Amino acid sequence: MRNIIITGGAGFIGSHVVRLFVNKYPEYNIINLDKLTYAGNLANLKDVEDKPNYKFVKMDICDFDAFYKLMQEEQIDGIIHLAAESHVDRSIKDPFTFARTNVMGTLSLLQAAKLYWESLPEKYEGKLFYHISTDEVYGALEMNRPEGVEPPFSTTASSAEHHHAYGDDFFYETTKYNPHSPYSASKASSDHFVRAYHDTYGMPTIVTNCSNNYGPYQFPEKLIPLFINNIRNRKPLPVYGKGENVRDWLFVEDHARAIDVIFHGGKIAETYNIGGFNEWKNIDIIKVVIRTTDRLLGRAEDEDMNLITYVTDRLGHDARYAIDSTKLQKELGWEPSLQFEEGIERTIKWYLENEEWLDNVTSGDYLNYYDTMYGKTE
Ligand code: NAD
Ligand code: TYD
């Protein structure tokens, strides 16, 4: 495969995937297709924007005609689809936008890819539609921590300890879909459409479901970057409910590496779960973030613990997510490269060293980056 569209490449995970592919595969043409919503920021890709194998195209994934034309012009043989509305709280306030982009947008890409690939003499040979999804489609797991096993509060606890920290059931590739939020419902629906295009038309597709990502370039509306930014500015840290919900955290570069491995070696029509065996209660991860940020800022230990502010719980707040990624590890040899301790330290350091990025994103100045780089179009 040579000509690849990565949708949502200006977002958090997408920018890491674009960077990895542009740097690792100089022989590929990488097209970053993004609408540049509030979550898209071309400043995330400053270091690759001048590379000869990289191109940015501003486009809405719901624009069927434009996408079909782009596929023809660029003779696209691979699509890695990350563009989505991705924040659960926004989906609770505005579900329609999530249905439009995540469901109709994905369907639009699938249909355009189908028409273009079926028009070629080789048809689907050597083609791939790779859809990036979330573990949230599986719903929520029970908290049934085995008797006598204390949850690991240390960042140095092993993966195995963290994996079995809060329950003995996990999300497997075979787990039944049971989404609860408008976000996860829209992602579940898009996953079904992707599989339907394989089963009905024979399109080569792969779907992966990943756990919560953390790392550089995440929009500061999600837990970890929001809290780092608030600690930096000594603003309250809004903890939903009792802070008891459990999430399974993976460093974003490990997700990008998994996407690379699966794009090149994954089996058509398969699903792979991606996760780092790294379960944390929100309140515990929040304490780690406060301690680490305070230490890196040279503040007294636990100085900012008093910023913790318990607020009304999120509606329909899923109790626990925990991914079993054994299939990916066994079949394709991928494993997380970082212990959480190292990943969170690197992440917090990055935000503190890139305060300008944080300030641009929170002030909205980043929205002008496209106009500055590419000239005003609208
Ligand atoms: P993000 O919100 O940071 O980025 C989304 C990107 O998609 C942005 O650049 C945005 O401009 C673009 N976009 C949104 N609507 C668009 C449209 N209509 N047309 C074209 N582009 C559009 O999201 P993220 O956290 O990087 O997530 C990327 C993908 O990974 C999503 O599909 C998400 O569901 C999935 N995922 C995320 C996580 C996580 O922890 N962040 C975990 C598992 C899976
Ligand atoms: P988030 O980063 O929004 O990811 P997701 O909802 O996709 O898991 O939230 C992670 C967890 O942190 C989730 O249980 C909700 C909680 N949370 C807070 O307690 N306060 C906040 O301000 C945010 C954004 C999230």
275-302, pLDDT tens digit by residue? Answer: 988 888 999 999 999 999 999 999 998 9
The whole-number pLDDT of residue 146 equals 61
Ligand 2 close to Cβ of residue 187 (< 6 A): no
If one residue of 5, 6, 7, 13 were mutated to test the ligand 1 pocket, choosing by the most ligand atoms within 8 A of its CB, it would be 13
Is residue 298 a part of any domain in this protein? Answer: no
360 pLDDT exceeds 80? yes
The whole-number pLDDT of residue 369 equals 76
The whole-number pLDDT of residue 160 equals 61
Contact 349, 273 (CB under 8 A): no
If you average pLDDT over residues 60-73, what whole number do you get? 98
| Nearest atom of ligand 2 to the alpha carbon of 227 | 22
Ligand of minimum distance to the alpha carbon of 223: 2
Ligand 2 close to Cβ of residue 91 (< 6 A): no
118 is catalytic: no
Which of 132-141, 151-160, 188-197, 315-324 shows the lowest per-residue confidence on average (mean pLDDT)? Answer: 151-160
What is the spatial distance between Cα 378 and Cα 371, in angstroms, rounded to a whole number?
Answer: 9
Contact 323, 248 (CB under 8 A): yes
| Nearest atom of ligand 2 to the alpha carbon of 88 | 6
149 pLDDT exceeds 70? no
More confident residue, 367 or 232: 232
162 pLDDT exceeds 70? no
The whole-number pLDDT of residue 116 equals 98
More confident residue, 290 or 374: 290
Secondary structure E strands in the chain: 3-7, 29-34, 54-58, 78-81, 128-134, 205-210, 212-214, 237-240, 246-251, 271-274, 279-281, 308-311
If you average pLDDT over residues 196-215, what whole number do you get? 98
Is residue 103 a part of any domain in this protein? Answer: yes
| Catalytic residue (choose from 166, 183, 272, 370) | 183
What does the DSSP 8-state code read for residue 136?
G
378 pLDDT exceeds 60? no
User: How many C-beta neighbours within 10 Å does residue 96 have?
Assistant: 10
Is residue 360 a part of any domain in this protein? Answer: no
The whole-number pLDDT of residue 158 equals 58
User: How many C-beta neighbours within 10 Å does residue 371 have?
Assistant: 11
Measured in Å, residue 223 CA sits from the centre of ligand 2 at: 5
pLDDT in tens, 123-140: 999 999 999 999 999 999
More confident residue, 151 or 7: 7
Ligand 2 close to Cβ of residue 44 (< 6 A): no
Lookup result for tokens 């000594």: 234
Total domain count for the chain? 1
- Give the alpha-carbon dihedral of 70, 271, 338, 6, to 10 degrees: 0
What does the DSSP 8-state code read for residue 112?
H
Is residue 201 a part of any domain in this protein? Answer: yes
Q: Taking Cα atoms as reference points, which of 219, 269, 259 lies closest to residue 6? A: 259
If you average pLDDT over residues 320-326, what whole number do you get? 93
Q: Taking Cα atoms as reference points, which of 361, 135, 133, 94 lies closest to residue 226? A: 361
- Helix (H) / strand (E) containing 289: helix 282-296
Which of 10-19, 197-206, 334-343 shows the lowest per-residue confidence on average (mean pLDDT)? Answer: 334-343
- With a pLDDT cut of 70, the percent of the chain lying above it is 94
User: How many C-beta neighbours within 10 Å does residue 139 have?
Assistant: 19
Lookup result for tokens 């699509």: 79
| Helical ranges in 88-181 per DSSP H | 88-93, 95-98, 106-118, 159-163
Measured in Å, residue 74 CA sits from the centre of ligand 1 at: 23
Ligand 2 close to Cβ of residue 320 (< 6 A): no
Which of 33-47, 67-81, 132-146, 261-275 shows the lowest per-residue confidence on average (mean pLDDT)? Answer: 132-146
157 pLDDT exceeds 60? no
If one residue of 5, 12, 194 were mutated to test the ligand 1 pocket, choosing by the most ligand atoms within 8 A of its CB, it would be 12
Contact 341, 276 (CB under 8 A): no
Among protein residues, the one with the nearest Cα to ligand 2's atom 4 is 222
How big is the chain, counted in residues? Answer: 378
Report the relative pairing of strands 29-34 and 237-240 from DSSP bridges.
unpaired
148 pLDDT exceeds 90? no
The whole-number pLDDT of residue 144 equals 77
Ligand of minimum distance to the alpha carbon of 66: 1
The whole-number pLDDT of residue 167 equals 82
If you average pLDDT over residues 159-171, what whole number do you get? 74
Ligand 2 close to Cβ of residue 281 (< 6 A): no
Output the average pLDDT for the chain: 93
136 is catalytic: yes
Is residue 188 a part of any domain in this protein? Answer: yes
| CATH assignment of the domain containing 26 | 3.40.50.720
Domain range for 213:
2-217+250-277+317-337
34 is catalytic: no
Which of 92-96, 109-113, 167-171, 258-262 shows the lowest per-residue confidence on average (mean pLDDT)? Answer: 167-171
The whole-number pLDDT of residue 376 equals 60
Is residue 362 a part of any domain in this protein? Answer: no
Is residue 351 a part of any domain in this protein? Answer: no
pLDDT in tens, 8-44: 999 999 999 999 999 999 999 999 999 999 999 999 9
Measured in Å, residue 146 CA sits from the centre of ligand 1 at: 35
153 pLDDT exceeds 80? no
Is residue 212 a part of any domain in this protein? Answer: yes
Q: DSSP for 8-67?
A: TTTSHHHHHHHHHHHHH-TTSEEEEEE---TT--GGGGTTTTT-TTEEEEE--TT-HHHH
What is the spatial distance between Cα 43 and Cα 157, in angstroms, rounded to a whole number?
Answer: 35
222 pLDDT exceeds 80? yes
Ligand 2 close to Cβ of residue 151 (< 6 A): no
The whole-number pLDDT of residue 367 equals 79
More confident residue, 56 or 364: 56
Confidence of residue 341 (pLDDT cuts 50, 70, 90): confident
The whole-number pLDDT of residue 170 equals 92
Residues near 153 by beta carbon (within 8 Å), at least 6 away in sequence: 284
pLDDT in tens, 77-86: 999 999 999 9
Measured in Å, residue 90 CA sits from the centre of ligand 2 at: 12
| Nearest atom of ligand 1 to the alpha carbon of 214 | 40
Ligand 2 close to Cβ of residue 177 (< 6 A): no
CB within 6 Å of ligand 1 — which residues? 7-8, 10-14, 34-37, 39-40, 60-62, 82-86, 101, 105, 132, 134, 187, 210, 212-213, 219
